[in-house]
Amino acid sequence: MAKNIVVVTEKVCTGCGELKPVEGYYKDKRASDGRASRCRACHYKYTIASRKNKPEWWKQYNRERSRLRRQDPEYKKKKAYWDWAKDLQYKYNINEQQYHNMFIKQSGRCAICSIHQSRLTKRLAVDHHHGSGAVRGLLCDACNVGLGRFKDDAELVLLAYNYLRSTI
């Protein structure tokens, strides 16, 4: 049975009640239509208002708690690892085991320049196609940024290659 797909271009803001284009709303994966219920302006007003309405003792408590947490070295290690693992799942839809399998398959080296992980200060980045989201492999930061500058366009990379070859 075929599903009917409805593309929403406008929606009513729950804050101001106005009908606005969906581009005027923040993305929200939890929402059924993929957008927040309040427009950007109302979201901003609500966020500022909620911060102002907190009692001063609560703000001070949170500042102190955050300061103590940031000073704890164990917290930093756990947070850094948890953020990385969460990013893998959220950004690339892969888990740590899949990352590890790619790492082993590439022998711990960048898929483009073959520099080994041990010679880098950052871990190998997950390279993905920005249109489809498909994961292609692991790259060092320099190669990953380089591909990003070419906007995943193979034609541009080929033109750059031809340019470099012609200047030798």
> What is the distance between the alpha carbons of residues 128 and 151, in angstroms, rounded to a whole number?
11
Task: Give the tens place of pLDDT for each residue, 17-45.
Answer: 999 999 999 988 888 888 899 999 998 88
Average pLDDT, the chain: 86
Q: What is the pLDDT of residue 82?
A: 66
Cβ contact 159:124 at 8 Å: no
pTM: 0.53
Q: Which residue did the predictor score with more confidence, 77 or 38? A: 38
107-168: CATH superfamily: His-Me finger endonucleases (3.40.1800.10)
By residue count, the chain amounts to: 168
For the chain, domain boundaries: 10-52, 55-92, 107-168
